[in-house]
Chains A and B, each alone.
Chain A
């Protein structure tokens, strides 16, 4: 299933998934979130995972990020086999390599913007300074604000700063603009695009908003637990050109 992405991109594979399957058991019902996915993701590319609710996007992202494990199939990150990794190995993997951005920001309300970033930089091996990460997302002047004192877009940019501050190899974003209005969403996407461009971080953005696909190198469609289409953007749009 799924087609191999060819590409103009210099192809060093970061993620390789084969036959990835995930089944949740909820009470008496079994939910097949992923039904055997084959997928390769390459270094430095910005990928948009597109699909309706329940298509399995978040599940796929969680498995790639080491937050969840597959029921069947195999997924590797570079030379790490994530499918067979123990809990502490997954933790180590997330600690060293992955940055997450969530739909609801998931900032720690009792910490300031700077501290929310510091939570991550303190445990990373080659982090940037929290102030620098926040400057990159345009929040250099809001370092000491608590989440409750920030707008939704600002909170999400803090979350991005937090995700990139460790200099991760991959940045996984689950509906980063889902809770934001369009103008604010654009600001957030600009921040993501800038990180991808300047730091070369492999970035995966989950969205159900097809308009966002315009800024991707590749767009992967998911529906019903399967990849239905993979498309390479010949001409990427800048975030400010996007509207929804």
Chain B
């Protein structure tokens, strides 16, 4: 080993505390990057493989009913490769020992041979036998939630008739990787199931013998999905088509895509922060190291070492620290990635998850960090390398101090001498002080941004489930029903209040843009399900217009006063022009709201309703559920409290994971910045502090000078961290907003307090560690050293 390299290792050992603190920050950045990117890549690869092996379709359509013969017409559409028709039905389920309402989507599979598209992956048992009307394959998540095994039984109400089904297999499907009920925000494995049954039996039970109501297809290479969809819609219009859609709008696929976007966004933001902080810390530490080694550099140069030798020497120092961080970060990132992968497989149901850190990810993490670190230290190293030897031999000129701005503001007698020292130190190097403040504030910001999603979710639940949805249950009917159905509901013991609603599937068009959704007609005096305007004030739809979710401004470019074209996808399928009378706040989904009577009139359908909101006595809940299951016209029941509980349960683990990771990362940054600032302050001012001790200052007093500066920087950093944290949060929220959901930027005061506490505590601990050195300051030795 070269002698200079030996010096390097010993120098590094001497500054091990600082090196480790910086390496930790780098490790955090690398770990975050590896965690997010490798999880995303692993999920993407798994998804793509699953899609391919199990023939996930490129486009989908639902309709009321069409004869099987129509299939060939669809196959003839240019661009269509394979077509599969199915029967699909929404049913009520009853699971032994579980008293809450459960709904399921049953999808048909061919009686002979396996499906051409969207093939189930059979985890256990077998597929249904041909012609059997009492066998079903159950989705794995639901089976796990209820501990169902092949051989167990389920009761289903299929098209109004009870049917006992025997579970013969447990399966997964590329179509239901995320098994989420239409309109719900998160999967509910206990209360929503996917079932597969034989085509013949399911068709007979649903009056679909020789007919189908569900279509999926693949496209030939180069085919334009939009063209194909337009043609399919044209063909299916006669058959009650509900609008065909491409894979990108398929629910499970959309949720996965959104999740990847979130991972990618986080991978863009958080590692960047760590890299920036690490580069700053390296710059500070290397600059200081070089300044204390000025004379050594001079000697080495005097003996004929070249500028490049000196430069390389310090580049190696930086590289060693960075490599230390990278190695640790790769390990931790892979470990955390495995944990996150496990959490995701609870949520997203793949038959397998090949979690691996791709070499390219590791290489990218390493390269980005090395590059950033070297860029950060480039100037300091250059200055060291080009220091003229004769000048380097002389000690650095004393720092230039002056009275500070603050001192001029505050009367002299108020400020003690130590306080003035603190202030002058901060003001003398305002850029460094500012960068330190920014560095520490990043810790605070990461905490805020890391916990922001929890606050946002709390707020969404508060608005959505407590202020908008006040009903205890939402009951939907199999098909539009007379308003008289409400009387039947009110007679159910325990039901206190019932309000009807109408829901109509539509395509909304404005200009050249369109969106497939539904319009809900509500009663004017409704008290169970309220609408809130953009200022969260109660609003009712006027008789002559429509209220739209505020996000329609973005998605259709529509504003109050505009005339919206509405194509109804039900009944006589009228195309209507409806004036937009206002916008409403809604975080989940996109909808239009109209007065019930006005909607009925437009539909020319009398007093039809699609469902009922109920408030009920909780003591009678189970009885009510039982009654609802038995009512043939009831398609399904949603219970608000169950939804809230399920929502939190499914999110809880992921939230805890991210909070934990954010806390550790924030503490790392806070510690890294404060500890390094403290160590450098000690090295720069050890002499000065020791001199003060010699002059009779106590340990406490010099600690005040020393820690006071750090305390000031930390306290100044906290409000800035709040601001940056909020900025990052709204950046993430803005990037992720879509028609699926919009995340409000709401940050709880508790999150702010917690973030501040983590930062202050980390700063305090690192201050204490350095203070121990301060207490053991060797007065004589310090005074003797040449500065």
Contacts and interface: CB of A to CB of B under 8 A. Distances in A.
B7 A110 contact: yes
Interface in A77-91: 87-88, 91
Interface stretch (B156-164, B278-286, B291-299, B420-428): B291-299
11 contacts: A94-B301, A94-B302, A95-B304, A98-B302, A98-B303, A102-B299, A108-B7, A119-B4, A122-B3, A162-B303, A163-B303
B294 to A, nearest CB: 10
Interface stretch (A62-70, A136-144, A188-196, A216-224): A62-70
A115 interface: yes
Nearest to A62: B390
Interface string A110-131: 1100010011101110000000
A67 B296 CA distance: 14
A100 B303 contact: yes
Interface residues of B, number: 26
A110 B14 contact: yes
A110 B10 contact: yes
B296 A87 contact: no
Given A102-B299, A106-B296, A111 B389 contact: no
A76 interface: no
A106 B298 contact: yes
Contacts of A98: 302-304
Nearest to B389: A67
Contacts of A102: 299, 393
Among B2, B300, B390, the one with the most A-chain Cβ atoms within 10 Å of its Cβ is B390
A163 B6 CA distance: 20
A47 B302 CA distance: 20
A22 to B, nearest CB: 10
Contacts of A163: 303
B11 interface: yes
B7 A91 contact: no
Contacts of A162: 303
B306 interface: yes
Among B2, B304, B388, B389, the one with the most A-chain Cβ atoms within 10 Å of its Cβ is B304
A237 B2 CA distance: 41
A232 interface: no
B417 to A, nearest CB: 28
B305 interface: yes
A96 interface: yes
B390 A111 contact: no
A44 B388 CA distance: 29
B304 A94 contact: yes
B307 interface: yes
A65 B302 contact: yes
Contacts of B390: 62, 67-68
A94 B303 contact: yes
B786 interface: yes
A96 B296 CA distance: 19
Contacts of A92: 304
Contact of A96 (B304, B305, B307, B309): B304
A87 B389 CA distance: 11
Contacts of B10: 110-111
A67 B307 CA distance: 13
Interface in B257-313: 295-296, 298-307, 309
Given A67-B389, A102-B299, A106-B296, A95 B7 contact: no
B298 A91 contact: no
B780 to A, nearest CB: 15
B390 to A, nearest CB: 4
Interface of A: 62, 65, 67-68, 87-88, 91-96, 98-100, 102, 104, 106-111, 115, 118-120, 122-124, 162-163, 166
Nearest to B8: A110
Contacts of B299: 100, 102, 106-108
A95 B299 CA distance: 12
A91 B3 contact: no
Given A91-B306, A110-B10, 15 more contacts: A65-B302, A67-B388, A68-B390, A88-B306, A91-B307, A94-B301, A95-B303, A104-B295, A106-B296, A110-B6, A110-B11, A111-B6, A115-B3, A119-B303, A120-B303
B592 to A, nearest CB: 74
Given A62-B390, A67-B389, A110-B7, A91 B296 contact: no
B305 A91 contact: yes
A115 B299 CA distance: 14
Contacts of A118: 3
A129 to B, nearest CB: 13
Contacts of B307: 87-88, 91
Contacts of B11: 110
B312 to A, nearest CB: 13
A92 B302 CA distance: 10
A175 to B, nearest CB: 12
B781 to A, nearest CB: 10
A100 B7 contact: no
B301 A91 contact: yes
A152 to B, nearest CB: 12
A108 B389 contact: no
A144 B393 CA distance: 26
Closest 4 CB pairs of A and B: A95-B304, A110-B10, A68-B390, A94-B304
B578 to A, nearest CB: 80
B19 to A, nearest CB: 14
A110 B299 CA distance: 14
Contacts of B305: 91, 95, 123
A71 to B, nearest CB: 13
Nearest to B11: A110
A91 B304 contact: yes
A203 to B, nearest CB: 16
B231 to A, nearest CB: 74
B656 to A, nearest CB: 46
Contacts of A62: 390
B14 to A, nearest CB: 7
Contacts of B3: 111, 115, 118-119, 122
A120 B302 CA distance: 10
Nearest to A103: B393
Given A68-B390, A106-B296, A108-B296, A115 B302 contact: no
Contacts of B304: 91-96, 98, 120, 123-124
A91 B299 CA distance: 12
A9 to B, nearest CB: 27
B302 A111 contact: no
Nearest to A106: B299
Given A68-B388, A91-B301, A111 B306 contact: no
Interface in B387-415: 388-390, 393
A115 B306 CA distance: 19
Contact of B786 (A67, A104, A110, A123): A104
A111 B7 contact: yes
Given A108-B296, A110-B11, A100 B4 contact: no
Nearest to A87: B307
A110 B300 CA distance: 13
A115 B3 CA distance: 6
A96 B301 CA distance: 12
Contacts of A88: 306-307
Nearest to A99: B303
Contacts of B298: 106
Nearest to B2: A122
A167 B2 CA distance: 20
A124 to B, nearest CB: 8
A88 B303 CA distance: 13
Contacts of A106: 295-296, 298-299, 393
A120 B309 CA distance: 13
Interface in B347-380: none
A115 B6 contact: yes
A163 B729 CA distance: 61
A95 B302 CA distance: 8
B288 to A, nearest CB: 16
A120 B300 CA distance: 8
Interface in B712-766: none
